[in-house]
Amino acid sequence: MIAEVTEYIDNHEKWTQELKLLRSLLLALPVEETFKWKAPTYTYQGKNIIGIAAFKEYVGLWFHHGVYLKDEAGLLVNAQEGKTQALRQWRLAEIEPSLVPVIKSYLQEAVMNAEQGKFYKPKKKTAALSIPEELAVAMKADAALEQAFMSLTPGKQREFAQHISEAKREATRLNRLAKVLPLIKAGKGLYDKYKK
């Protein structure tokens, strides 16, 4: 038993019984108890799968990969719609004895999913590349430059585009463009000289 978890539970007098019950249900599973983000967290093979937390109006049961839970009873919510992709939360204002088997089934399913390797990998959000006007004009006038730029990785393309477009004055943007043209034609990235 981790001291921080015990202290956390004891410091939330309103929810002490509910937190103790959830903790006992979790410790009966093949998970490891940790304390992260100032709350009890339960991991499987080092990966976060379940967390518990006390709030003003409820006790939250967090499923870090809750997107994979069946949730046939419709008890889970996405705490930050549009922001969180996999995390789901169950808000419990009270835990009646009849609810314990349902909680157990959700916890067991979360652990079973972890055992099967169902861990959500966040999707990276990449903004569309916005080529500054100065670079677009230069590429239109020089087909070799355009071909060299298009053969760069998306990350290198973004570095050059941002470097040029971040300058406020047109003269500075043109100066930056002139300095990066040899790098683009050589197939090098803006920051390659700093990488080892």
Give me the architecture of the 3-115 domain, per CATH: Alpha-Beta Complex (3.90)
Give pTM, 2 decimals: 0.62
Q: Give pLDDT tens digits along the chain (196 positions).
A: 678 999 999 999 999 999 999 999 999 999 999 999 899 999 999 999 999 999 999 999 999 999 999 998 899 999 777 777 889 999 999 999 999 999 999 999 999 999 998 888 877 766 778 899 999 999 999 999 999 999 999 889 999 999 999 999 999 999 999 999 999 999 998 888 877 5
CA–CA separation, 60 and 114 (whole Å) = 20
Domain ranges of the chain: 3-115, 133-194
Residue 145 in contact with residue 181, Cβ under 8 Å?
yes
